[in-house]
Structure 1
């Protein structure tokens, strides 16, 4: 879920790693992987910042969304943080977290001492644009960081690699594959090749299911703040599904990512299917108990399904696309 809605809802020493970081400007640098001189390691992230280390990092920490994705490629993190605890995050289902330090379970609240104690070589996070243009101003902190001051403290623990979460998740998924490749994962064969094939098959399955033409509205619902409706074009995960044929309702509004309305306006936004966020949103039962939400065709038909915010990787996306395809196949047109 985008940081704006979540907002509603001394210094540390570097730890024994020689680091060189050069900023090359936003959106203008070649964001590929590089081979550092004399057997070192380097990676140029989506902010145009090149991280260089004497050797390839093996101890990875960072934002839940990315650490979960890298773990799906075989890279178990040493520490993770996010807007929820990893223990409660659907992205980590089936993962043994006993050896992973959960150093943050609310947005911007990161235990820096615990993170430093995990001794990471590299910290990974994402970053969102400020609007639909996809632009990321130079002084924008990475996602999960409270502000630039906190980000600077974290960068003293280990260098930060930032992946931009914009456009289509198809592109973000490939960018994470590039990062995994740089971290030593075989991305052309083995489990990753199998996961890529599953992802392609799941894409076709979702396209076939979307052919039914049912309309879909993803929402984040709160009793206090009303109805937050996601704009598919602004959310990379939803944009991917839209590319594959899912018919998302345009919620209108001028703001980036969300259109927020009060409960009295909810009946003005009907759909055949409601996807309710699993992060902080009201449950289907709580939504149905709201008098105005109870007037929605999708609610009356019982066609409410979970909207899972999962990481940009083949494994997670394939699993949810198959799940979403099942919802669309089951649902009937009721608008």
Structure 2
């Protein structure tokens, strides 16, 4: 399924904090010894220069050797596993067994340390991260993400990081291990490269990364070819009781990536970072030949009950497909683009 990062708190109050992806800077790194994060076989030895990583906030994590026991946000952890690594713990929106993005991956030995459901806020009784469970894993490094709050790429000041409830929880986790934050905003290709670079610094085999990148390039060319021959417009959206939220392609790394390979994506009229918001009285203005509908809000049955949206052409034609949170490794994005290409090929251009 296709993917989008949506806010962890109510959409009305945190629309600007949703997913998007820019570049973080990798400093000199060396491989570690065989460990839970290392691929099968010889993972290499820690070098005398140690391991360092400059994250999105400008902070540099320095360790004597490459971290071996990693706890990571699911958006990142899934990519690490696809690159042949094995974190000891993960956290995110859903437990592993409920998140289809883990399907087919070996999760043996990966502890789920807590989840924060969509719409949850700090202190509202949601499970969130269990700090004691993290402590029991004796992590060397904790990885999360941070999203810009405007088109200029400004990061929120003192944000705890995706999936971390608040500053107090951040500090409790930081007492256990350094926290590195990946910038989740900007050009999608930069995010792909950054995550791949992080993975190789942690011990992923370059040949695994290269093979996945080859598949990605093939999928990108197929998408470009299909979009040249088939002119349909895609609308990436979320909906709830307040209205329809159409994602701005330049503010979402996955959408930006697909657009760079030919996908024609709706640019919403209403101003705002990431989302263009249409109240239900104005929802009839939302166009598109194909709807990419977030799986975290209203679904087709709900939309069909909205008088101002029920006759939306793509909805009537049944050209609606799921849009779920992004994973930024080459294999995951290759699969997403292959699926998108198939949907475009099977869709018709509707009256606009």
Under TM normalisation by the shorter chain, which class is it? Answer: 0.7 to 0.9
**Would the aligned equivalents of 2:284 and 2:308 in 1 still touch at CA under 8 Å?**
yes
Change (3 A) 1:6 1:218: farther
Change (3 A) 1:4 1:123: same
Distance 1:288 1:97 in 2: 38
Equivalent position SS for 1:146: coil
Equivalent position SS for 1:311: coil
Report the counterpart of residue 164 of structure 1 in structure 2: 183
Change (3 A) 1:32 1:96: closer
Answer yes or no: is 1:237 the counterpart of 2:254: yes
Report the counterpart of residue 219 of structure 1 in structure 2: 237
**Would the aligned equivalents of 1:85 and 1:102 in 2 still touch at CA under 8 Å?**
yes
Deviation string 1:271-330 (CA, Å, 9 cap, x unpaired) is 10000112x122223323433222100011110011132211101100010000100111
Answer yes or no: is 1:298 the counterpart of 2:307: no
Deviation string 1:134-159 (CA, Å, 9 cap, x unpaired) is 11144233222222222121111111
Unaligned runs of 5+ in 2: 13-22, 31-46, 123-127
**Displacement after TM superposition at 1:96 (Å):** 3.7
Report the counterpart of residue 25 of structure 2 in structure 1: 31
**Which deviates further from its counterpart, 200-209 or 319-328?**
200-209
Aligned counterparts, 1:1-335, within 5 A: 1-2=4-5, 4=7, 6-8=9-11, 31-35=25-29, 38-106=48-116, 109-187=128-206, 189=207, 191-211=208-228, 212-222=230-240, 224-278=241-295, 280-335=296-351
**Normalised TM-score (structure 1):** 0.87
Which protein, 1 or 2, shows the higher relative CO under an 8 Å CA cutoff with sep ≥ 6?
A: 2
Equivalent position SS for 2:293: strand
RMSD: 2.1
Distance 2:11 2:150 in 1: 18
Change (3 A) 1:225 1:97: farther
Q: State the number of aligned residues.
A: 312
Distance 2:156 2:239 in 1: 29
Distance 2:263 2:314 in 1: 16
**Which deviates further from its counterpart, 111-120 or 35-44?**
35-44
Unaligned runs of 5+ in 1: 10-28
**Normalised TM-score (structure 2):** 0.83
